[in-house]
Amino acid sequence: MQQVRALPVVGGFADRLLAEDLPDLPHQRRAEVVGFVARRVDGLPSFTRFGVLLIGVVFRALLAVPGGWGLGRVVLRLPLPFVAEYPRLVRSLGYAYVWEHWPSTTPTGGAA
Amino acid sequence: MADPARRPLPSTTVVTGAAGWLGTSLVARLAADPARARLRLLVHTTAEARALATRYADRPGVEVLVGDIAKADTALRLLDGAGPDTDVIHTAGIIHPRRVRQFFETNTAGTRHLATAAADRGVRRLVHVSSNSPFGTNPDRADTFRNDEPYHPYLGYGRSKMEAELAVTEAAAKGLDTVIVRPPWFYGPNQPPRQTTFFTMVRTGKFPVIGKGDQRRSMVFVENLVDGVLAAELVDAARGKGYWIADAEPYTVAEIVATVGAALRDEGLEVQPPSTSLPTLAARVAETADRFLQGVGLYQQQLHVLGEMGHTIACDISVARRELGYEPRVDLYDGMRASIRWCLDQGLTL
Amino acid sequence: MIARPADAAMDAEVLVIGSGAGGATTAAVLAEAGIDVLVVEEGEWVEQGDTVPFSLDQMDRQYRAGGVTVALGLPSVAYTEGRCAGGGTEVNSGLYWRPPGELLARWREDFRIADFDPAELLSIADEVETVLHVGTDPAGPTAPSEAMRRGADALGWRNGEIPRWMRHDGSGAGQRQSMTRTYLPRAAASGARIVTGCRVDRLELDGDRAVAAHTTLPDGRTGRITFRDVFVCGGAIQSPALLQRSGIRGNIGRSLAVHPTVKLAARFADPLNIPDDVPVHQVKEFAPHLSFGGSASNPGLVALSLLDEWNGFRDAVVDWPRISVYYAAITSQGRGRVFSVPRLRDPIVTYHLTARDRALLRSGLGRLALLMLEAGADTVFPSFRGAPAVRTRKHVATMERLFSANRASVMTVHLCSTVPIGEEAARCGADSFGRVHGATNIHVNDASLLPTAPGVNPQATVMAFAIRNARRFAAGESHG
């Protein structure tokens, strides 16, 4: 698992999630944030990284099929321990990055 | 420390719940003071009214009304003719009903009616007797409630008393002079049957101590409480505030059981050593069951008391001491002996 | 910079693994006693001021895993560890609390710590306070501190400014102190060698002795360091993990203790946010079991504090200049574990909160919300899923009713007690001076030794323990 890079696994999911949460965030910024999220996932301690990538692989597969994203969102709303941590991790890293780097960002991601 | 400035006695003192546990002792104290010109007392039943009328037949200025505080017109009748020379002391409440909704009818709506009427009539002050229950239980054995705490009501009773406090606070915001008094578990003469059961359980060694009995409990001897209520009524600077009124320090449950045992023995009763120790789980189960029953509108006293037994309910009276000049005069042992003697005088079997 | 890169093969009389509050003080005491000391640090040497405090960049460079580390459980507890020269002392708020004397006395009894004199530790604390310039801020409280003070005063709750290691010059400007500015240069001045970028993977054992440390260098090469004695000072997670990876058994990693905290964001009418510093006031009215203080509040961290209930709270994010983040911390009856799995580089960490811990977190957050309302906050945003925005006392009650630790962002920055010190065989991992039970030359000298979480910022206690044990070791050396 140490050889697997995070970006191809979590990148698509992070991009989709942040695009929905922050629709007005410019593309270039979102790409930067996704890159940051992936770097941080790469730096996670072994076990957590393994878990995140495992869940990430499942969601990447979901994203690849029609209607998969909708199903994925339903799954994420279920009170499943650890699975719900996945979007939370992406959002924590993403939002922290957005507002630290561009503090005047609006709640929808727009550049105020 | 100099005693805080007190107002002169009002010409009329109104007491709700006048036949209750606290009400009986409070009225006795008020009636004993000839400077209290008029006492207007609200009781729930005609039987209670007759008993009071008999007791104070020779005391001029005592007037007894029968009514249910849960009904809006009761407060209006009670405060008919009241004005700036009237103090109202609201002790009426229900603690162990059959149905959860009774909590809200009596404790919450009753208080709201009274506060509204008091504001309309422009009384001098409304003293509202609340409880520890709006604040729930302490989150740690070593934790003690400070004078000002966030609400975290314990089940139906707690919620109803919290809503009552909020109604009082609302009236205060509109200009009514209010003081809230918060007593924890009380003891003393004129006690209801449930407290008699408590003595019997301790005497027969059957009081359910949870775990090691190291939960801390604040208690208040009813005469100490009367001191606190009267200070809250008369101390000018208390306006708009709320105070814990309790004995000097919280006790552990084990200490309470031991002290009551000693008091019973010293009153000549035979006391069995404590034999009923329940695991902490028992209290947890009882609390869960109580929560469930109250969720469907039912109330079961034994479950409720057992569930609460596993918790610490401790409060700090330093602000009442400082601002009201309140000083608890009777300690647990003497207070319990007085209660036991009262029970024996009534011919009760403990 | 006094650090240098590691060589593949090195040797020292005493190897010190880790350079934080435990390792740096150990190295200074031993080097000043004339012992040949080698300090190895996994992270890099970053000068104070090279990174912005509490920024993501600082987390990348000076925290383990960029600060994204978590103790698994329901709920999981997020934690952070410094991973740089100086360890946690470089990146924390620098707040300094002496170990409470009565706690030291209780530890001595409960864990049977031999020859453990609270007065000796407090006198070491005196020295440390001089070295680190521990003091209060001559400039007076910042606005977020002032808000905390105002709310606590309104409720009559004991509060005060916590001194910190900050050297103030004549102009009143402060220079933050840390191990890279104090004990590490002292160690180097007495001949200690300090290498960075060098990870110790395991200790090589020969019976009850460790004979070498196996290392990984930044370029991926492996190395070996031989020594006569080794002091493991990697902090409460890394120290037990290293011992476990080396095959050492006993009470190692079984009793992780932390101060769990929950947070809220408070919004005021006027701007008060200070992006690169933390409030220095704490409320100790309910100490030790419950304390309140201020957290780092840069705009990114404000967004994080609103994240749990983002749909309800997100509009407030643009108000970050008027928002500061505060925490409620508890002493926990729960415990965690650190365990190493073969072939896995990092340990797995777990933590379990008890029912009482959960009640205390709930009550703590409620009391903190009330304090913020009393301080004049127009709205309080608690950090848990399903939280209401709190504007009145009644809302505080609603908030407490809806609170569940499982839905909260529970985190901690104080980790300890994974190799408890003492002779009480059932729970202690190291003897009364930090030597690992069952080993002759392996010592632990960091937060792992604290018998329990102390209820206050633990760094002063860690340094006092480390200096005491290092002195004892050095005295034994000189006597032969």
pLDDT tens per residue, range B102-156: 999 999 999 999 999 999 999 999 999 999 999 999 999 999 999 999 999 988 8
For residue B207, which of B274, B252, B150 has the smallest C-alpha distance? Answer: B274
CB within 8 Å: C66 and A40: yes
As given in the structure block, the two tokens for residue C299 are 């705009």
Q: Which ranges constitute the DSSP H helices of C280-354?
A: 299-306, 310-313
Cβ contacts of C160 within 8 Å, gap of 6 or more: C281, C282, C284
Decide yes or no: CATH 2.30.42 for domain C136-172+260-412: no
Residue-level pLDDT at C140: 86
In chain B, whose CA is at the least distance from the CA of C392?
B150
Three-state SS at C160: strand
For residue B1, the tally of other CB atoms under 10 A from its CB is 7
Stretch A61-84: mean pLDDT, rounded?
85
A96 contacts in C (CB within 8 Å)?
A: 56, 300-301, 303-304
CB within 8 Å: C370 and B140: no
What whole-number distance in Å separates Cα of residue C129 and Cα of residue C149?
Answer: 25
- Tell which phi-psi region holds residue C247, choosing left (phi > 0), alpha (psi between -120 and 50) or beta: left
Most B CBs within 10 Å, among C291, C357, C393, to test the B interface? C393
Contact C253, C244 (CB under 8 A): yes
Is A99 part of the contact surface with chain C (CB cutoff 8 Å)? yes
Q: Alpha-carbon dihedral of residues C195, C198, C201, C204, nearest 10 degrees?
A: -40
Q: Which residues of C belong to the active site?
A: 414
A36 contacts in C (CB within 8 Å)?
A: 56
Residue-level pLDDT at C143: 96
Is A38 part of the contact surface with chain C (CB cutoff 8 Å)? no
| Angle at alpha carbon of residue A100, lines to C265 and C456, rounded to 5° | 50
Stretch C332-338: mean pLDDT, rounded?
97
Alpha carbon A2 to chain centroid distance? 19
Residue-level pLDDT at C1: 65
Residue-level pLDDT at C173: 73
CB within 8 Å: C69 and A107: no
CA atoms within 13 A on the CB side of A77: 6
Give, to the nearest 10 degrees, the angle between helix A6-21 and helix A85-101.
Answer: 70
In this complex, the residue of A81, A82, A103 whose CB is nearest that of residue C299 is A103
For residue C12, which of C155, C151, C215 has the smallest C-alpha distance? Answer: C215
What whole-number distance in Å separates Cα of residue C144 and Cα of residue C141?
Answer: 8
* CB burial of residue C213 (10 Å; 0-12, 13-18, 19+): buried
Stretch among A89-93, C356-360, C474-478 having the lowest mean pLDDT:
C474-478
Q: Taking 60 as the threshold, does the pLDDT of residue C479 lie above it?
A: no
Residue A32 Cα, gap to closest chain C Cα (Å): 14
Stretch C361-390: mean pLDDT, rounded?
98
Stretch C227-245: mean pLDDT, rounded?
98
In this complex, the residue of C68, C298, C307 whose CB is nearest that of residue A91 is C307
* CB burial of residue B85 (10 Å; 0-12, 13-18, 19+): middle
Q: How many domains does chain A have?
A: 1
The C residues from 170 to 189 touching A (CB cutoff 8 Å) are none
Inside any domain, residue A12 = yes
pLDDT band at C362 (very low <50, low <70, confident <90, very high): very high
Residue-level pLDDT at C480: 45
ipTM for this model = 0.94
- Domain with residues B12-188+219-248+313-329, CATH architecture: 3-Layer(aba) Sandwich (3.40)
Is C307 part of the contact surface with chain A (CB cutoff 8 Å)? yes
Give, to the nearest 10 degrees, the angle between helix C355-374 and helix C393-402.
Answer: 160
Residue B29: its H or E element: helix B21-31
For residue C44, the tally of other CB atoms under 10 A from its CB is 15
Inside any domain, residue A110 = no
Residue B74 Cα, gap to closest chain C Cα (Å): 28
In this complex, the residue of C66, C70, C300 whose CB is nearest that of residue A43 is C66
The A residues from 71 to 90 touching C (CB cutoff 8 Å) are 81-82, 85, 88-89
Give C246 or B210, the one with higher predicted confidence. C246
- pLDDT under 70: residue ranges of chain B: 1-2
Alpha carbon B15 to chain centroid distance? 14
Query: Per DSSP, what are the bridge partners of residue C292?
Result: C283, C328
Intrachain domains C4-45+84-94+97-131+178-252+416-478 and C136-172+260-412 with the same fold: no
Inside any domain, residue A48 = yes
Residue-level pLDDT at A1: 52
pLDDT tens, position by position, C287-306:
999 999 999 999 999 999 99
For residue B40, which of B84, B8, B87 has the smallest C-alpha distance? Answer: B87
Chains B and C touch, contact meaning at least 3 pairs of CB atoms under 8 angstroms apart:
yes
User: What is the domain range of residue A90?
Assistant: 6-101
Secondary-structure class of domain C4-45+84-94+97-131+178-252+416-478 per CATH: alpha beta
Contact C269, C377 (CB under 8 A): no
Residue A25 Cα, gap to closest chain C Cα (Å): 15
| Angle at alpha carbon of residue B42, lines to B41 and B44, rounded to 5° | 145
In this complex, the residue of B140, B150, B169 whose CB is nearest that of residue C370 is B150
pLDDT tens, position by position, C435-457:
999 999 999 999 999 999 999 99
The B residues from 136 to 195 touching C (CB cutoff 8 Å) are 138-140, 142-143, 146-153, 162, 166, 169
Residue-level pLDDT at A51: 92
Residue-level pLDDT at C138: 86
Sign of the alpha-carbon dihedral angle for C51, C52, C56, C62: positive
Residues shown for chain A = 112
For residue B22, which of B225, B233, B253, B301 has the smallest C-alpha distance? Answer: B225
Domain boundaries, chain C: 4-45+84-94+97-131+178-252+416-478, 136-172+260-412
C157 contacts in B (CB within 8 Å)?
A: 146
CB within 8 Å: C366 and B146: no
Contact B286, B185 (CB under 8 A): no
CB within 8 Å: B149 and C370: yes
CA atoms within 13 A on the CB side of C477: 19
Contact B75, B114 (CB under 8 A): yes
**Which segments of chain B are extended strands (E)?**
12-16, 38-43, 62-66, 86-90, 125-129, 178-182, 185-187, 209-210, 216-217, 219-221, 242-244, 251-252, 277-278
CB within 8 Å: C157 and B319: no
CB within 8 Å: A43 and C302: no
Residue type, C448: S
Residue C385 Cα, gap to closest chain A Cα (Å): 11
Inside any domain, residue A66 = yes
Residue-level pLDDT at B98: 87
Chains B and A touch, contact meaning at least 3 pairs of CB atoms under 8 angstroms apart:
no
For residue C340, which of C408, C238, C259, C213 has the smallest C-alpha distance? Answer: C238
- Interface residues on C facing B, Cβ-Cβ cutoff 8 A: 155-157, 285-286, 289-290, 356, 359-360, 362-364, 366-367, 369-370, 393-394, 396-397, 400-401
Give C216 or A72, the one with higher predicted confidence. C216
- Three-state SS annotation for B279-332: CHHHHHHHHHHHHHHHHCCECCHHHHHHHHHCCEECECCHHHHHHHCCCCCCCH
Per-position DSSP letters for B56-68, written without gaps between them: TTTSTTEEEEE--
Cβ contacts of A22 within 8 Å, gap of 6 or more: A30, A98, A105, A108, A109
Cis bond before residue C288 (omega within 30° of 0): yes
